[in-house]
Structure 1
Amino acid sequence: MSAETIEDTKNYTIEWDDDIGAVVFTWDEYVSGQTFRDACEALLDAIKRKNASKSLTDTRGVNAHDAEDQEWLQNDWMPRALDVGLEYSAVVHPDSVISEMDVENMMDGVEPSGAKPLLTSDMNEAREWIADK
């Protein structure tokens, strides 16, 4: 994997992965509220700077997001991400039913213009899917 680190904090890492042509965002710790939103804004900034149409988000390091953060992501952040050109997103969640439901709830009603987001617990599947877009 040839990845360029864009930002590396204790809560998350943002990279550009040439192999799949996508911004890769990895949650390292659970955060909520303004800290969650600031991290998402950093991801949006990376998408803009790289003129990226694809992102892969690895949430295996966290188990859930609170309802307010989910609502903000759906109603505020995602429309802005689509406006700057994000078309495809893959989300890798922890291998648990609760985590899968959390990610599904977060993505519910979000239809990027290019395709429905991929939700999976398999990083290889996510990388292959996003690389093909």
Structure 2
Amino acid sequence: MSALQIFDREQITMWYYPDKKIIHHQIHKYTHGQVYRDAFMTGLEVMKKHGACKWLSDDRKNPVVAPEDRKWSLEVWHPLVVKAGWKYWAIVQPDRTIAKTRMERIAEMAALSGLTIQIFDNVDDAMAWLEQQ
């Protein structure tokens, strides 16, 4: 079965792969505030509904996560998505060096909750890794 588009805005698109139980988001440009939160809450709801446990983050075009969104992600969203069954996270690194460094810090904090995380330079390798999990 092919991917089902579950969220689509100018800033971010998200898909669900039912046969692989993978949530996949692609950031197109700076995403923050309500659009950011709506996208990730949509992914959480699909994960809960379908028992998905894998997430592919394509953050190549993500220049930075706003501090208030980073705080919300770690304190509100992250505990909910882990409780929903999130186990594996493949991250395609942002293009900008400072964004890479910040994403690596987020991944380090997320790993403390028991997630298995790998960082990649391209979507194909990230997807292949998730499919093997």
Q: TM-score of the superposition, structure 1-length normalised?
A: 0.85
Pairs aligned (count): 132
Q: 1:18 to 1:43 in 2, by over 3 A?
A: closer
Aligned to 1:128: 128
Aligned to 1:48: 48
Instruction: Give the gaps of 5 or more residues in structure 2.
Output: none
Assess if the C-alpha contact under 8 Å between 1:95 and 1:121 holds in 2: no
Aligned to 1:36: 36
Q: CA deviation at 1:79?
A: 0.9
Q: 1:42 to 1:18 in 2, by over 3 A?
A: closer
Root mean square deviation of aligned Cα:
2.0
Instruction: Give the gaps of 5 or more residues in structure 1.
Output: none
Q: CA deviation at 1:114?
A: 4.7
Q: 1:11 to 1:96 in 2, by over 3 A?
A: closer
1:113 aligns with 2:97: no
Assess if the C-alpha contact under 8 Å between 2:21 and 2:50 holds in 1: no
Query: Matched residues in 2 for 1:45 and 1:122: separation?
Result: 26
1:11-22 aligned at under 5 Å gives the runs 11-18=11-18, 20-22=20-22
Higher mean alpha-carbon deviation, 105-114 vs 121-130, is at: 105-114
Higher mean alpha-carbon deviation, 93-102 vs 51-60, is at: 93-102
Q: 1:32 to 1:95 in 2, by over 3 A?
A: closer
Q: 1:34 to 1:4 in 2, by over 3 A?
A: closer
Q: CA deviation at 1:4?
A: 1.9
Assess if the C-alpha contact under 8 Å between 2:63 and 2:95 holds in 1: no
In structure 2, give the amino acid aligned to 1:130: L
Higher mean alpha-carbon deviation, 86-95 vs 104-113, is at: 104-113
Query: Matched residues in 1 for 2:36 and 2:4: separation?
Result: 22
Task: Please give the secondary structure, in 1, of the residue aligned with 2:34.
Answer: helix
Assess if the C-alpha contact under 8 Å between 1:21 and 1:131 holds in 2: no
Task: Please give the secondary structure, in 2, of the residue aligned with 1:25.
Answer: strand
Structure 1 or 2: more helix by fraction: 2
Q: Could you report, residue by residue, the CA deviation over 1:65-105 in whole angstroms, capped at 9, with x for unpaired residues?
A: 12221122112111110101111111112234222112112
